[in-house]
Amino acid sequence: MAKLAIVDLSNEDCFKPGTSSWLSIRKDICHALEDLGCFVAILPDKISSELRSAHFGMLDELFDFPTETKVKSSYEKPYPTGYQRVEGAVYESLGIAGATNPEQTQIFEHHFWPNGNDVFHETADLYIKVMEELHHAVMRMVFENYGVEEYLDDHLQSTIHTCRFSKYSEPAEKTGTDMSILRGIHGHTDTNFTTILYQNDVKGLEIKSKDDEWIGFDPLPSSFIFLAGDGVQVWSNDRIRASRHRVTWSENDVRYSGGLFSFRVGETHTPKELIDEDHPLQYKPLNTSVYTEYRKKNYASIGPDYTVKAYCGV
């Protein structure tokens, strides 16, 4: 049975480019991404257990607001995000676009708490900051690994981050729909460049191995899981494959997760340095927002197994 790679980044030196810790972690991370499209990161203790419980307590309060309030936090611009729930499903989620800017967390927060809520934004911003730092370091490692660090600044400047919080629990109203298909999230790849997820201790996330087995993710309080999305698959010309993952929630306990979904604005294309005789060009340039919209709109006919290769493969 394949295992998820666990990378211990608890030593702060791992975040210092050029150090021996950085170079050794870079090797492990790039190997894991090429192998399974994901890895588990153990991060330095920046989030105390008190802040962690306070944060998950806030998510509890957040999802307890009535649907009318949750829907009001949705918007189309600058990037569409908002409340998602399929009637009768156990999964619901709320999103903040541009979440690495703390102003956006507060705009989101005011939909729920008109007078603000310090614990909500302080804990949410801390999680977002920790994930942004991890994203930044991993992107530098990946660009260095392929010898294209000259494109890194442009990539980071063209990236925006959406934070999504998800809750998995028994819906208040059972519908006539076949519940077996609504007990989590079907196997899928994320359409964005990369995703980082954290969660409470209720299991459910699974990653597909190369041998088509589902590998369960065993969360630890200090662990985050980093997933390659379709964007990095196109960019890397298939060196890194998007991770296919799903959530099967079967416990009575409520599962909460949060994540940073990083998108490249405009077109993602494969750098010329990553195209050669052994790696002929695999993809036309990808516009992630058009692709995401296409997948949503056509979900009924293309289904969750749809791939970016079918969308923009050459």
Provide the binding-site residues for Fe ion, judged by CB under 5 A: 190
Among 99, 185, 215, 242, binds ligand AKG (CB under 6 A): 185
The span of 110-118, 197-205, 208-216, 293-301 binding ligand AKG (CB under 6 A) equals 197-205
Please provide the DSSP assignment of 79-136 as one string: S-B--EE-TT-SEEEEEEETTTSHHHHHHHHHHH-TT--HHHHHHHHHHHHHHHHHHH
Site string for ligand AKG, 47-86 (x = CB under 6 A): ----------------------------------------
Q: Are strands 38-42 and 6-8 parallel, antiparallel or unpaired?
A: parallel
The least CB distance from residue 146 to ligand AKG, in Å, is 26
Task: Name which of 23 and 86 has its Cβ closer to Fe ion.
Answer: 86
Task: Name which of 237 and 257 has its Cβ closer to ligand AKG.
Answer: 257
Task: Name which of 26 and 164 has its Cβ closer to Fe ion.
Answer: 164
Distance (Å) of CA 195 to CA 21, 106, 133, 190, 279: 23, 22, 13, 8, 25
Contact between 116 and 106 under an 8 Å Cβ cutoff? The reply is: yes
Task: Name which of 138 and 185 has its Cβ closer to ligand AKG.
Answer: 185
Residue count of the chain: 314
The least CB distance from residue 185 to ligand AKG, in Å, is 5
Q: What is the DSSP letter of 267?
A: E
Q: Which single residue is written with the structure tokens 């630890």?
A: 220
> In the window 147-166, what residues touch ligand AKG (CB under 6 A)?
164, 166
Task: Name which of 190 and 206 has its Cβ closer to Fe ion.
Answer: 190
The least CB distance from residue 91 to ligand AKG, in Å, is 8
Half-sphere exposure of 53 (CA within 13 A, CB side): 2
What tokens appear for 100 in the block? Answer: 């690495």
Contact between 133 and 14 under an 8 Å Cβ cutoff? The reply is: no
The least CB distance from residue 198 to ligand AKG, in Å, is 9
- Please give the residue whose beta carbon sits closest to ligand AKG in the complex: 257
The least CB distance from residue 93 to ligand AKG, in Å, is 6
Distance (Å) of CA 62 to CA 117, 177, 256: 11, 26, 11
Task: Name which of 116 and 303 has its Cβ closer to Fe ion.
Answer: 303
**Positions in the binding site for ligand AKG (CB under 6 A):** 164, 166, 185, 190, 197, 199, 205, 245, 247, 257
